[in-house]
Amino acid sequence: MIRFENVSVTYADAPAPALRNVELTVPEGELMLLVGPSGVGKSTLLGAVAGLVPHFTGGVLRGRVTVGGRDTRDHKPRELADLVGTVGQDPLAHFVTDTVEDELAYGMESLGLAPEVMRRRVEETLDLLGLAELRDRPIATLSGGQRQRVAIGSVLTPHPRVLVLDEPTSALDPAAAEEVLAVLQRLVHDLGTTVLMAEHRLERVVQYADRVALLRAPGEPVLTGPPAEVMAVSPVHPPVVGLARLAGWEPPPLTVRDARRRAAPLRDRLAGRAPAPVALPAAAVPVPAVDAGGTAREGRFGALLSRLRPDRRNGPAESEPGPTESVSGAGAGGGAGADVVSARGLAVRHGRVEALRGVDLTVRPGETVALMGRNGAGKSTLLGALTGMVTPAAGRVLVGGLVPHRTPPRQLVRRVGLVPQEPRDLLFAATVGAECAAADADAGAAPGSCRELVTRLLPGVPDEAHPRDLSEGQRLALALALVLTGRPPLLLLDEPTRGLDYAAKARLVEVLRGLAAEGHAIVLATHDVELAAELAHRVVILADGEVVADGPTPEVVVSSPAFAPQVAKVLAPGPWLTVAQVEAAL
C-alpha cells in the first residue's frame, strides 16, 4: 500500500539529509508503528506519505514514494486526499471550519461525495468516536482530547485507505488514549485501513501494532519486523519490555496480560523481598536537611517581607491578615507553616464554568506531587492559580507564604516557577545566549548562572542557536533552566513529557529527582503514568475540578486501573512501580 524506494529527503539549508535511503513497505490493512528517538525523521517520513514532504515543506526528495500505486511525485497532497488521511501533532492546526459537524464533513465536501453519503458517514463517525454530544459545539470550546478525536474523525469520514498519524495519543489522558486506539484497531480490523503512526508513548500503542519500523539514528536503515522482535533490540521500549529484559523473557511480551502470565516466577522471587520503593528514601533523606536551608532562606526573606509589608500594603488592608500571618509562620520555621503550597477550599470559575471546586492541596519542600486526571479536569487551572495567573473565586492559596495573584511577577518568580505545556511560550529572545542573559537579569541572579544551569541539565545546547530550532528535549531543558534561574522553592511542570522520547524523559526524571533532593518542591500535571510512577511521592487525582484522590503514589496508582503503570499491573498485588525498583530489588 505504501512503498518507499530508496528515499532520501534533504531540507534546504540542512547539512545532512533528514532521511537517507529509506526502504519501507507497508502492506494493505496493516497497522505499522514507527518508533525511534526524536529527531530521526519520523515526522518527515510520515509527511512524505501524504505528499506534504516535499510539496509543502520544501526540500529535495530523492527516490520514490508510492501510495496505492500513486507516485507522490506526480500527485499533489490534494490529489491524494481520497486515499490518505493525515493528522499532525497539533490538532488545532488541522481544523478548517468552526463546528464539529462541519469539520467532519469538510474532507468529504472537498472530494465531492453525495450529500446522502456524507450525512450517513458523519453520523457513523460521530458514534464511532463518541462525539455525538459535541456535534454542534464550536471547535474552539473543545478540550484537548476531544479535539484529537475530532481531528481523527475528520480524516476518517472520506474513508481513506491509508491513515497517517503523528503522535495521536501524546496529548490525551490514558482513558481517552485507549478510546482513540480502540477506534484505530477497529478501523484496521473491520475496514482494512492501513495505518502508519509514530508515537513516543510505546506503552500505549505497541501491543496494537502488526509490525514496527524502527529508525535508530538519522541516516540508518529502517529496521522492520514483528513488534516483539524489534522491541528486543530497540533503544526505545515500553516498561514491560524493560521488565522482560530484566527477567530474561524471550521474546519479550508486549502486553500486560502476556507479561503477567510469564511473571509468576518473578512475582515469587520478589514476594519475599521487602519492597524498597525509591520514592520514600528520596523523600525522607533530603527533606530535613534542605528543610533547614530552605526555611533559613525563607526566614530571612519572610522577615524582610513582613518588615516591608505593613508600610507597602497600608492601602488595601483587606488581605492583610492572611499573608502576614503565614509569612511569619514560615519565618518561625519548622512546623506546618513550612508548606510550600497550601490551598484551602480553592475555587476557580471560567465564566460560568466551575473549573475548580473546593480544592485542598499542601506540598512540602522536597516533595514531588503528580497531578493527574482526564483532559479538562482542572490540572492546568490549578497550576495557573498557584502561579497567580488565575484569580480564585473562593478559598485561599498561599505559595511560599504569598498570595500568588496579588504578588508582583518579579517577586513571585523567586517563589514559584512554571514550565507551561508549550515550553516555547517562555522563549522570547533570538538566541539561547540572549535568553539566558535575560533570565539572569529577570531573576537578579549572577550573570551566567542560567547558562550554567542549561549546561547542567542538558550539555551541548549551542549558545547561538535560535530557541525555535532546538529539539523538544532541548527546548524543555532551556525553559526549565530559565525558570530555575530564580531558584524558586516550588517548581511546576505542565505536561512535561509531551513529545519527549524515552532518552529525553529519562534525563528529565534524573534532573527532577536531583532538584527534589535539593529541596525543591515539584508539582507535575501529567497524563504520563510511567513518569508519575518514577518521580512522584504523592499523586493527586482531579476530576471535574475536585480532588478525588490524594495519597502516596503506590497506594493511589496501584488501586486505579487507569493510572497504574505497566510494571504495577504486571506485578500486582506487589507494590512495584518501575523497572528500576525491580532491578534494585533483584
Partner 1 sequence: MSRFPHRSGRPPRTRTPSEWRTPADSGAPAESRTPAGSRTPAVTSVPAGAALPGGLRAPRASRANALHAGAWWLWALGLAVAASRTTNPLLLGLLVGVAGYVVAARRTDAPWARSYGAFLKLGLAVLVLRLAFSVVLGSPIPGTHPLVTLPEVPLPEWSRGIRIGGRVTAEQLLFALYDGARLAALLICVGAANALASPARLLKSLPGALYEAGVAVVVALTFAPNLVADVVRLRTARRLRGRPSGGVRAVLQIGLPVLEDALERSVAVAAAMDARGYGRTAPVPAAVRRATTALTLGGLFGVCVGVFGLLTAGGGAWGPPLLAAGALAALAGLRLGGRRSARTRYRPDRWGVRAWLVAGSGLLVGGLMVVWDQPALHPGVLPLVAPELPLWPALSVLPGLLPAFVAPAPEAPSAPEAPSAPEAGPRTPPAPESESGRRPENGSGKESR
Using CB under 8 A, which residues numbered 82 to 101 contact partner 1?
Answer: 82, 84-86, 88, 90, 92-99, 101
| Count of CB atoms situated within 10 Å of the CB of 284 | 11
For partner 1, the closer of residues 92 and 584 by Cβ is 92
CB-based contacts of 330, cutoff 8 Å, min separation 6: 295, 298, 299, 302, 337, 338, 400, 401
The 10 Å CB-count burial string (b at 16+, else e) for 411-429 is ebbbbbbbbbbebeebbee
For partner 1, the closer of residues 313 and 487 by Cβ is 487
- Among 59, 63, 70, 111, interactor with partner 1 by CB under 8 A: 111
In the complex, the smallest distance separating the C-beta of residue 90 from partner 1, rounded to whole angstroms, is 7
CB-based contacts of 368, cutoff 8 Å, min separation 6: 283, 512, 516, 521, 522, 523, 524, 535, 536, 537, 538
> Does 561 engage in binding with partner 1 (CB under 8 A)?
yes
Q: From start to end of 215-367, where are the E strands?
A: 223-225, 341-350, 353-363
> Does 131 engage in binding with partner 1 (CB under 8 A)?
yes
- Among 27, 138, 235, 288, interactor with partner 1 by CB under 8 A: 138
# residues near partner 1 by CB under 8 A? 110
In the complex, the smallest distance separating the C-beta of residue 158 from partner 1, rounded to whole angstroms, is 8
What is the contact mask toward partner 1 in residues 532 to 551, using x (rule: CB under 8 A)? Answer: ------------x-x-----
Q: Could you say which residues in the range 471-530 bind partner 1, by CB under 8 A?
A: 482-483, 486
- Alpha helices of 377-535 — where are they, by DSSP H? 379-386, 409-412, 432-443, 449-457, 472-484, 502-517, 529-535
Instruction: Check if the beta carbon of residue 367 is closer than 8 Å to that of residue 523.
Output: no
Q: Could you say which residues in the range 424-463 bind partner 1, by CB under 8 A?
A: 425-428, 438-439, 442-443
- Among 186, 273, 300, 307, interactor with partner 1 by CB under 8 A: 186
- Among 24, 176, 228, 522, interactor with partner 1 by CB under 8 A: 176
In the complex, the smallest distance separating the C-beta of residue 26 from partner 1, rounded to whole angstroms, is 18
For partner 1, the closer of residues 20 and 569 by Cβ is 569
What is the contact mask toward partner 1 in residues 19 to 38, using x (rule: CB under 8 A)? Answer: --------------------
For partner 1, the closer of residues 113 and 236 by Cβ is 113
Intra-chain end-to-end CA distance of the chain, in Å: 46
| Residue 71, H or E segment | strand 70-71
> Does 167 engage in binding with partner 1 (CB under 8 A)?
no
Positive/negative CA dihedral, 579, 581, 582, 586: positive
CA atoms within 13 A on the CB side of 493: 30
- Summarize the chain as % helix, strand, coil (round to 5): 45, 20, 35
In the complex, the smallest distance separating the C-beta of residue 77 from partner 1, rounded to whole angstroms, is 4
Q: Which amino acid makes up residue 123?
A: E
CA distance 412 to 403: 9
Interacting span for partner 1 (CB under 8 A) from 13-21, 106-114, 268-276, 301-309? 106-114
Q: Could you say which residues in the range 254-313 bind partner 1, by CB under 8 A?
A: 255, 257-258
In the complex, the smallest distance separating the C-beta of residue 340 from partner 1, rounded to whole angstroms, is 17
Rg over CA atoms, the chain = 25
Instruction: Check if the beta carbon of residue 199 is closer than 8 Å to that of residue 29.
Output: no
For partner 1, the closer of residues 98 and 325 by Cβ is 98
Q: Could you say which residues in the range 139-158 bind partner 1, by CB under 8 A?
A: 140-141, 145-146, 149, 154-155, 158
Instruction: Check if the beta carbon of residue 563 is closer than 8 Å to that of residue 555.
Output: no
CA distance 79 to 102: 21
What is the contact mask toward partner 1 in residues 39 to 78, using x (rule: CB under 8 A)? Answer: -----------xxx--xxx------------------xxx
Q: Could you say which residues in the range 377-406 bind partner 1, by CB under 8 A?
A: 387-389
In the complex, the smallest distance separating the C-beta of residue 111 from partner 1, rounded to whole angstroms, is 5
